[in-house]
Structure formats: structure tokens, C-alpha cells
Structure 1
Amino acid sequence: MQLITGKAKIAAVLGWPIEHSRSPLLHNFWLQRYQIDGAYIPLAVKSEDFKSVIKGMMAAGFKGCNVTIPHKEAAYQCCDYVDETAKKMGSVNTLWFTQDGKIHGTSTDGAGFVASLNDSGVNVSGKKILVLGAGGAARSVAYCLQRDSAQVTITNRTLKRAEQLVQDLGEGDILEWQSWNQELGKFDVLVNTTSLGMEGKEDFQFDLKNASPDLIVTDIVYVPRVTPLLAAAQLKGLKTVEGLGMLLHQARLGFTQWFGVDPKVDSELTEFVANSLKK
């Protein structure tokens, strides 16, 4: 077990609730792997306390933090500097504090998703990609796909939300939710960013019969690890990319900023976190 000292670098994840977060598992796994004097801790923080907790963390010498529901927009408002990705999102999930007392922020979800595709041998440049959903995850994923030269189409059960997302992104196409199953043959990659298919959530009604044999099917849901969508795609012999890779890759930038090491996402880490999902 890696022991920490008074010189330890400390980071955290803030949310309300926070019990569900797997971030402490994977960050502390990396700290152990690289023998870093540091710790990453979960903090349950109510919305009304968020700003004061951030100030307290800075005063206490924390290196930064991740933020999850419901704090991503509030975290954005706390930042002195944000990058272009965060500006498009209007929210952040990763903060780091500098010695001059400034707060830097970014959103790593979309980049983590693209990295997980790359890890699976999928290059998105020039690909026609259909994104299911128009929420915060869809926004981050779609922006980073477009940034890497993919052609993105958005479909959502509420059409107005899809239209608003495409308008905010400044590019992209829209497909009515009732039509996406029939139009699936036009796309190279299918991305589910909704909670449909997540354990304990609403059932996912879909039909892959019009998919081309080369379609790549992805899902950002990772509980269960093999979602109904991924299971159906695998039965058809289609290539699939699970959501756990996005969770792992989105964590890398924060770890690098706080602890000074760019950590590797590999099979050992994947299985370690995956085993925790079964408990």
C-alpha cells in the first residue's frame, strides 16, 4: 500500500450524491501504480455549498478536482480560464488550481470518448456518425467528433433539443427519432449518449436490421458493461466499443494536471474498474 506524507498531492471529486462515482477507484489505482505521494478523495457537496468548498480546497492546498452532477455548470462559473471545449459545453468536469490562485477548467468527456474509439482502432475522421441524444454528454461527444472531422447527425426524442444542439455546435444534421432505425444504413458509427439501456433505467427500443455490416456501435453507458444495444450489435457480428473506455480516458487529463504523470489506460485498469461495477 502506497503511504502518503505531509507533501502529498491531493485531488477530489465533488458531487451530490457521490457514492456512485468510480473516479476514486481509478485515480487511486494510478497513484498506487506510479508510486505517487498523493490521494484522490470523494466529497459529497450540496449545491449551496459548492463555491465555498472550492475556496476551501484551494486554501487547503488541493491540486484540483473533478465535478459531477449537479455541479458542472457551477464549476464553469468559478473558473478564471476555460478552454474552447468548455466554452462549447458551458460546463466543466475537471478543475485545476494554479499557484497564482487561478482556477482552470475543461470538459474531458468528449475527448475521452474519442480516445476510447482510437484505442479500439476507430478513426473518426470523415466518418458519418449518428448520435442518439441531445443532452450534456451528446454535446461533448458531438463537439469532439466534429473537431476530429467527423460528420455528425443528432437524433433525440425531443426534436427541439436536437435542433438547439446543432445550432449551438454551429454544424451538423438532424434526424427525427422515429426515423433513425430506418436510416441507420447511411452511417458508419452509431453512438448512444442517452441513459436508455442503463441498469435500472427505461428499456431501449431499437432495431439494427438496416445497419450496414461495417457499422460500429458504441454506447457511453457502462452499467451494464454490455448494454442491450451492444449485445444486439454483437449478435449481428458488428464491431462494438463499450462505455467503460470513455470513463477511463476522460480521467487522464485531470490526473496529469494534478499529479504530473500521464497515466496509461490498459487492460489491467479496465478489469480493475470493471470488477468494481459487479459489486
Structure 2
Amino acid sequence: MKEVGGHTRPFAVLGHPVAHSLSPCMHNASFAALDFDGVYLALDVAPDDLESVIPALGAAGFGGLNITVPLKERAFAALTRLGESARTLGSVNTVVFTERGPEGHNTDGDGFIEALREAFGRDVDGTSVFVLGAGGAGRVAALYAAGQGASALVLSDLDNGRLRRLEHEIRERFPGLELHCTDHSGEAAERARDSELLVQATPVGMKPEDSSPLPDRAFRGGQRAFDLIYMYPETAFLRAAREAGAETANGLGMLLHQGARAFTLWTGLEPDTGAMRGALKRAVYGEGGA
């Protein structure tokens, strides 16, 4: 990284808490690789302060912001200028400062699709997709699968209220899509086995001792299994899928590509994704990566 000086452009991720964020390590790695005079920080911002903090950082010369939990919906409500991606998801994870003021975007969906292309050589077009988890991450995966041409979509969550809210949203937006929903674990396993792409979007697997949220019979050869968790190279979900003959990938690629898209929105430059990926692997898996 260049020595920070009077011409260094600051960028930041805002969250509450935010010390755990990996965004600084990957963006600073790209700045260094490109010899870009920028520095990326993590700033803890209380939700009630967000509306005033965003324009203040723009006025202070910040080049752009990321927004993480629990502030994404707050940022969406606070900003009057919103890109299509933010309007699609109803939340903001990237802020670009323009001459007309701060503008909100959401790069999570693009990161999801690009990670699938990188890992499996194809995205969701013409594919039957099973999404386990109807919360924030599952909602992103489901909405982008529906919007990017999935042939059929299955949603599964043990929280029936959350599941039905997402079902209603998708049926309104994509009335022609073949959509099935289940809050029953037995039915979920059968629906998963019939699907070509399985997306694991629950917190199960964040602890190394967690077992797979789906039983072995949910997996088969010819499937693609994508776990949004990235703390470990292989979760129990991915191990079960691999042992059944499926192709597998964890969520590090999605983290990388949503960040790369934000980098380009701020700077107009292509980031050094190799440097970003290396920094993430060292941060998550230790020296040398995995």
C-alpha cells in the first residue's frame, strides 16, 4: 500500500459492529496491486446516525462506501438516488458519490451470479434451483435466480412466516416462474435432490461442528452445490454434496465478486481480483490460503 498522505482517497465499509469485516483487506490489496492512492477503512456507525453520516463522508472526500448489516435497509431508506440493483433488492451495500449526491447500489446479486459462473462455468439460466434459507442472503439468491432465468425455483425455510413473505414477493415479480415452497425438512430433501443447483443460505455451517442442514439423500451426482458460508474451505453441506458426486463451491467467490463490482463502481477501474482473492484467503484460511 502507498504511504497515506494528503492526496490519498479514503473509502470505507459502514456497519454496526464492523470490526469483523473482510472488505478492508481485499480492497486495500487491490489498491496496492494497482498502485492506486487509496485507503479503505472500517467505520462503526449506529443505525440512527447513518442518514447523516453518508453525506458527511461524501463531503469529506470519501471515494465510496460499502454498507453491511444491519445498515443495508437503512441506507436504502435514507438515499433518494438508487440504482436498479438496489431497487430490486430493497437494500444498499454500495454507495457511489456523484455530482448529484450519493447513489445507492447493491452488488450482492452480481457477486452471486459471477461466483457461480467462476465456480461452475455457468449461472442459473435454464437451471432448476433450490435455495435453503429465506433470510437476507437467501432472498438475494432467490431473487437473482428468478430474474436470471431459472427454469424452476424451490424455497425452503423452517421459518414459515419468512418463507411465505419471500414466496409472495417472488410470485408478484415473476408470475410465470415455476415456484415451490416447503418448511418441512423431509420434503426439502426430496425437492433438493430433484434440483440441479443447491444454494445453502442459512447460518448452519458457521461453526465447524455443524452438521449438514440437508441429509445425504438430498444430494446426487450431476448437481452443483453452493454454500454462501466462506469461513471454511468445505462445510459439512459441501462435503456431503461432494461425496455424492456433486460439484461444490463455498461463498468466498461471492464475497470477492460483490467487492470487485463495488470497486469498479467507485473508481471506474478493473480491480486486481487475484490480489483481492489472495488477501481474503489469507485472512480466512491462514497464511498460504486454502
Give the TM-score, by structure 1 length: 0.92
Match of 1:143 in 2: 143
Q: State the partner residue of 2:130.
A: 130
Distance apart, 1:167 and its partner CA: 1.3
Shift of 1:34: 0.7
Between the aligned partners of 1:20 and 1:60, the Cα distance in structure 2 is 25
Q: Percent identity?
A: 32
- Cα deviation for residue 27 of structure 1 reads 0.3
Question: Cα gap change, 1:96/1:184 in structure 2, threshold over 3 Å: closer, same or farther?
Answer: same
Please give the alpha-carbon distance, in whole angstroms, between the structure 2 residues aligned to 1:203 and 1:71.
Answer: 30
Structure 2 counterpart SS, 1:183: helix
1:174 is aligned with what amino acid?
C
Q: What's the secondary structure of 1:240's corresponding residue?
A: strand
Aligned pairs, how many? 277
**Secondary structure of 1:173 counterpart:** strand
Query: Which string of whole-angstrom CA distances, capped at 9 and with x for unpartnered residues, describes residues 17-57 of structure 1?
Result: 11110000000000011111111111011222222221320
- 8 Å Cα contact 2:111-2:261 kept in structure 1: no
Corresponding residue to 1:175 among 172, 179, 182: 182
Answer yes or no: is the 8 Å Cα contact 1:110–1:142 preserved in 2. Answer: no
Residue aligned with 1:218, SS: strand
Q: Using the TM superposition, give the Cα deviation of residue 76 of structure 1 relative to its aligned residue in structure 2, in angstroms.
A: 0.6
Q: Which residue of 2 aligns with 1:59?
A: 59
- Which aligned pairs between 1:93-132 and structure 2 lie closer than 5 A? 93-100=93-100, 102-120=101-119, 121-132=121-132
Q: What SS does the aligned partner of 1:97 have?
A: strand
SS in 1 for 2:161: helix
Tell me how far apart the structure 2 counterparts of residues 254 and 176 of structure 1 sit (CA, whole Å).
Answer: 35
Distance between the aligned counterparts of 1:192 and 1:59, measured in 2? 40
Corresponding residue of 1:160:
161
In the alignment, what sits opposite 2:263?
A: 255
Q: Which residue of 1 aligns with 2:203?
A: 195
Match of 1:271 among 263, 275, 278: 278
| 2:22 is the counterpart of 1:15 | no
**Cα distance in 2 for residues equivalent to 1:231 and 1:271:** 23
Q: Which amino acid aligns with 1:28?
A: N
1:185 Cα offset (Å) = 2.5
Spell out, residue by residue over 1:74-107, the C-alpha distance to the aligned partner (whole angstroms, 9 max, x if none): 111121221233223221111111123x121122
1:130: how far off? Answer: 0.2
Mapped partners of 1:8, 1:176: distance in 2: 51
Q: CA distance change for structure 1 residues 213 and 204 in 2, over 3 Å: closer, same or farther?
A: closer
Describe how 1:36-47 pairs up with structure 2 within 5 A: 36-47=36-47
What is the match of residue 3 of structure 2?
A: 3
AA of the residue aligned to 1:225: P
8 Å contact kept, 1:159–1:177: no
Counterpart of 1:220?
Answer: 228
1:113 and 1:141 mapped to 2: Cα distance?
A: 7
SS at match of 1:131: strand
User: Measured at CA, do residues 272 and 64 of structure 1 come closer, stay the same or move farther in structure 2, by a change above 3 Å?
Assistant: closer
Structure 1 residue 200: deviation in Å?
6.8
CA contact (8 A) 2:55 2:102 kept: no
Residue pair 1:195, 1:201 contacting (<8 A) in 2 also: no
Counterparts in 2 of 1:210 and 1:154: CA distance versus 1, 3 Å:
closer
CA distance in 1, matches of 2:225, 2:210: 20
Partner SS state of residue 41, structure 2? strand
- Return the alpha-carbon distance in structure 1 between the equivalents of residues 140 and 272 of structure 2: 22
Q: CA deviation at 1:272?
A: 2.6
Aligned residue in 1 for 2:26: 26
| Shift of residue 251, structure 1, vs aligned partner | 0.7
Question: Cα RMSD (Å) of the superposition?
Answer: 1.9
SS at match of 1:250: helix
Listed as ranges, the gaps of 5+ residues in structure 2 are none
Contact 2:128 2:153 in 1 (8 A): yes
Change (3 A) 1:153 1:264: farther
**Quick one: which of 186, 192, 197 aligns to 2:194?**
186
- Deviation of 1:203 after TM superposition, in Å, equals 4.7
